[in-house]
Amino acid sequence: MRAYNADDAEAIQSLLSPKLAKLYDRSAIEKVLSVCRANVLPSIVRTSLPVSGTKFYGFFAAYGQAHTTSMILEIDPSNRIIFCAMADEVFSGDFRCALKTFD
């Protein structure tokens, strides 16, 4: 959340799994952040506790100043991000605001 709000692509990259880090260099992360801020949530004030999930993934609410959206976060056993997406309808297939390994 702090890295997202600070627009800190380097910090976000340090949180990615090795496989995801190979796909997202600093400029790619900056592009995703830009899309997220413009289309989903300009900043994150807080997140909910997971409403569903397991030890390695969860579904959350992400709260902004005037808007709430959904977030899915999946991590590996080393607590590195495997998948992260935010969207008003996370099951709609709109992954513009996502860090992912699939197209």
58-69 average pLDDT score: 94
Question: What local confidence, expressed as pLDDT, does residue 94 receive?
Answer: 74
Query: 2-26: per-residue pLDDT in tens?
Result: 999 999 999 999 999 999 999 999 9
Q: What is the spatial distance between Cα 39 and Cα 18, in angstroms, rounded to a whole number?
A: 27
* pLDDT at site 102: 76
Distance CA 66, CA 32 (A): 21
Can you tell me the distance from the alpha carbon of 53 to that of 74, in angstroms, rounded to the nearest whole number?
Answer: 9
Any idea which fold 2-99 has? Nuclear Transport Factor 2; Chain: A, (3.10.450)
pLDDT reading at 91 higher than 70: yes
The arithmetic mean of pLDDT across residues 70-95, rounded, is 90
3-state secondary structure the chain: CHHHHCCCHHHHHHCECHHHHHHCCHHHHHHHHHHHHHHCCCCCCEECCCCEECCCEEEEEEECCCCEEEEEEEECCCCCEEEEEEECCCCCCCCCCEECCCC
Confidence of residue 103 (pLDDT cuts 50, 70, 90): low
